Amino acid sequence: MKKIRKVIPGQRKQERKNAQENMERQVALFSKHPTECCVCKLGFERTKETVLTWQVTINEGRVRLTCPKCWGIIQEAMENKG
């Protein structure tokens, strides 16, 4: 029976390797997050509640930490803009 699709040898392996490297870079950046909100400078204390409610964004190698109040303001501004 013929194969329905052709698989380039090593392509999937290379894709998995690239995805793994990308994940490792992002995890390394995530562990270096700031200790305060990037907007209002409210201090970040690592508790179960804050970990679940604060937003961490990684964009072009920059890690930004945003408190729930400021994140709501940012989301509102983005909705009004778009």
Between CA 14 and CA 24, with CA 20 as vertex, the angle to 5 degrees is 145
pLDDT at residue 11 is higher than 90: no
- For residue 18, the model assigns a pLDDT of 93
* Percent of all residues in the chain with a pLDDT value above 90, rounded to a whole number: 27
Domain ranges of the chain: 34-82
- For residue 62, the model assigns a pLDDT of 82
- Rounded CA-CA distance 28/22 in Å is 10
